[in-house]
Amino acid sequence: MVPVQSIATVPCELCGNHDVEVVSTHDRDASPLQVVMCPHCGLVWNDPRPSADALAAYYREEYRQDYKGTLEPKPRHTLRAARVAVERCCQLRGDLPRGEAVLDLGAGGGEVVYVLRQLGFPASGIEPNAAYARFARERLHVPVTSGIWQEASVEPGSLSAVTLFHVLEHLDSPLHAMRLIQGWLRTGGLLWIEVPNVEAVCQAPSHRFHRAHLYNFNTATLDAMGRRAGFEVVRIFTSADGGTVTSVLRKTDGSASAASSAPSLPGNADRIRRILAAHTPLRHFLSAAPYLRPLRKLKQRVSESLDLARNKNPKNLMEQVLQEAFRSGVLSVVIDLSELAAAAI
């Protein structure tokens, strides 16, 4: 299909150009949604989109209900989020000396903050949805405040790491957010970002775009945005199924001056265009992915149901998952046993 040329209502966040091509006209629910790509760098975003005020209200009040169908995490959500949090924290803690301050932005029900604190990091979180933030404080007893990133009150240079797990794609100005976060970090501090990969072919083509995902990245555009924000890129990688991209960024002495000109990513838009065109419904349904995925989900659901039949208390679920991880060796260095015992009470 020949891409439709257009002029975006907001310039490319990465390279500043206004001319774009339309890559999709609907979201994963088949509702109208115009998704455009910058032909110069390959950044993909929803255009037009709601105002900043409308977005803030949506995330404060509706998003969790809209996305998860609930006002606060149900036990199944906590169990699932706990397992994901353990995986994420295992990766993260290899980069950080124990005891360093970490902020999880978009902290949800506080599961990542909980696991990090059990691993010896004085972690805290910020979550736009008031009910989820309250759940984190009252049910998991971890410090998660309710608010949006633009209004966060963080002492400059006070943090050793900030984590953004599936958050950056929701922000209306990701470059601005990354520069703000840089100010919160000490020199040498890390910014961890995990986002969906626009090149992913593990889901049906019709599920690629989401109205809440304002930006869509691949490794090249996420890497370039980190550099544009003035960070040094420590590493960048995709998940085993290609569904997500993770970038680990470091604030250096020269970070502020490194925030520089628009990047050049020759060939990146062509690459994304080719991948999107090749990922047709027919090819997808002739591959193994659509058949293995439901089987994996069914297995996960049965396993979760067995666990939840024994235990529905959120804090106990977190402890159960942590202890499973220690027993299986996923978390190989056991923390102080007295801390673990105290946390289980």
Nearer to Zn ion, 10 or 335 (CB): 10
- Determine the Cα–Cα distance for residues 99 and 102; give it in Å rounded to an integer: 9
Q: Which of 249, 244, 248, 199 is nearest to 229 (CA)?
A: 249
User: Judged by CB under 5 A, which of 14, 86, 185, 276 binds Zn ion?
Assistant: 14
Q: Among positive and negative, which fits the CA dihedral 52, 54, 57, 63?
A: negative
Verify binding: residue 8, Zn ion, rule CB under 5 A: no
> Smallest gap, in angstroms, from Cβ of residue 13 to Zn ion?
8
Q: Any idea which residue has 């069914």 for tokens?
A: 298
> Smallest gap, in angstroms, from Cβ of residue 264 to Zn ion?
10
Contacts of 274 (CB under 8 A, 6+ apart): none
Which burial class, exposed, middle or buried, applies to 203 when counting CB atoms under 10 A from its CB (0-12, 13-18, 19+)?
Answer: middle
> Smallest gap, in angstroms, from Cβ of residue 175 to Zn ion?
11
List Cα–Cα distances, 253 to 157, 183, 218, 296, 341, in angstroms: 12, 12, 27, 45, 41
Stretch touching Zn ion by CB under 5 A, among 39-47, 54-62, 155-163, 305-313? 39-47
> Smallest gap, in angstroms, from Cβ of residue 263 to Zn ion?
8
- Determine the Cα–Cα distance for residues 247 and 219; give it in Å rounded to an integer: 8
Stretch touching Zn ion by CB under 5 A, among 4-12, 19-27, 187-195, 272-280? 4-12
Tokens describing residue 214: 């304002």
- Determine the Cα–Cα distance for residues 129 and 127; give it in Å rounded to an integer: 6
Nearer to Zn ion, 132 or 215 (CB): 215
Nearer to Zn ion, 8 or 193 (CB): 8
Q: Which of 342, 297, 314, 312 is nearest to 109 (CA)?
A: 314
User: Judged by CB under 5 A, which of 40, 77, 83, 250 binds Zn ion?
Assistant: 40
Angle between helix 130-139 and 314-328 (nearest 10): 70
User: Judged by CB under 5 A, which of 15, 162, 181, 272 binds Zn ion?
Assistant: 15
Verify binding: residue 12, Zn ion, rule CB under 5 A: yes
Tokens describing residue 261: 């000109």
Q: Output the CA angle 114-95-115, nearest 5 degrees.
A: 10
Tokens describing residue 294: 């439901």
User: Judged by CB under 5 A, which of 20, 35, 41, 191 binds Zn ion?
Assistant: 41
> Smallest gap, in angstroms, from Cβ of residue 262 to Zn ion?
7
Nearer to Zn ion, 41 or 177 (CB): 41
Applying CB under 5 A, what is the total number of residues that bind Zn ion? 7
Q: How crowded is residue 46: how many other Cβ atoms within 10 Å of its Cβ?
A: 23
Nearer to Zn ion, 19 or 324 (CB): 19
Stretch touching Zn ion by CB under 5 A, among 40-48, 123-131, 134-142, 312-320? 40-48
Nearer to Zn ion, 11 or 75 (CB): 11
> Smallest gap, in angstroms, from Cβ of residue 28 to Zn ion?
24
Task: State the Rg of the chain over Cα.
Answer: 20
Stretch touching Zn ion by CB under 5 A, among 6-14, 175-183, 199-207, 319-327? 6-14
Nearer to Zn ion, 40 or 211 (CB): 40
The footprint of Zn ion on residues 19-38 (CB under 5 A) is 38
Verify binding: residue 213, Zn ion, rule CB under 5 A: no
Interface positions with Zn ion (CB under 5 A): 12, 14-15, 38, 40-41, 43
